[in-house]
Amino acid sequence: MSYADYGGRSYARGVSRDDRVDVSPLNPQTGSWTGNFHALLGEGSILVGLYKQSSVTILRDGVEVALGACLIDPDAVPDGVDLAGEWFDPDPWRESGRVASFAVDGHRIDVLWTGESNNHVHARLTLPDGTTWTGWSGFEIGAGHTREDSEVEQARVKAMEMAFGGVDPEIPAPVP
């Protein structure tokens, strides 16, 4: 299943998690929906949702965390980025090809926005215990659009390998 022309994939410890694709998690505090995501990464109090080709949402106990506030190295952001704004603009990262890294409550979130084939967003979430979740979202990819062994999906896996060492957390990320 997918939302219109967009889809995603989610992996925990390198294992595909179809139950975390095209989901709308509940806020544990209010019981209301926290949003729609093509890929949802994580377990427990910190979740990362990917939507369409650029949206990344970090949730702490169902409440959105401002990306600019949890950026690990705000001094290393691409030129022209305004971290004080309410909206986090991924375009400078996409244009520079750099990974943006965030930290929330001992969880590390690494995100790569790519510009090929109508843009995609790739993410890795590392929990404090070392458990790794990976996934991606974008136009005409993921569950409901393509099989995991298709050329399109394998291109996403290759992007994950180049950025994060793949979807399997046992493979170390390459040194840039």
Contact 143, 6 (CB under 8 A): no
User: Residue 171 domain-assigned?
Assistant: no
Please state the rounded mean pLDDT for residues 110-115.
88
Q: Which of 152 and 48 is assigned the larger pLDDT?
A: 48
d(CA 107, CA 4): 31
Judging by DSSP bridges, how do beta strands 63-65 and 100-104 pair with one another?
Answer: unpaired
| pLDDT at site 74 | 65
Above 90 in pLDDT, residue 165?
no
Structurally, how many domains does the chain consist of? 1
**Structural domain boundaries, residue 28:** 6-164
Residue 116 domain-assigned (yes or no): yes
**Residue 169 belongs to a domain:** no
What residues pair up with 56 in beta bridges, in sequence order? Answer: 50
* Distance (Å) of CA 93 to CA 51, 75, 76, 143, 152: 17, 14, 11, 26, 22
120-144 tens-digit pLDDT:
899 999 999 989 999 989 887 766 6
The reported pTM is 0.83
Region 109-120 average pLDDT: 83
Q: Is residue 155 part of a domain?
A: yes
Place of tokens 């949802």: 40
For residues 46-71, give the mean pLDDT: 90
Query: How many Cα atoms are found within 13 Å in the side-chain-facing hemisphere of 82?
Result: 4
> What digits encode the pLDDT tens for the residues 9-51?
898 988 888 899 888 887 777 877 878 999 999 988 999 999 9
* Amino acid found at 109: I
The pair of structure tokens assigned to 14 is: 């390198």
pLDDT for 72-98, tens place per residue? 876 666 666 666 656 677 877 788 888
Domain assignment present for 173:
no
160 belongs to a structural domain: yes
Tokens, residue 13? 């410890």
Evaluate whether residue 111 is within a structural domain. yes
- The most distant pair of C-alpha atoms in the chain lies apart, rounded to whole Å, by 42
Domain assignment present for 87: yes
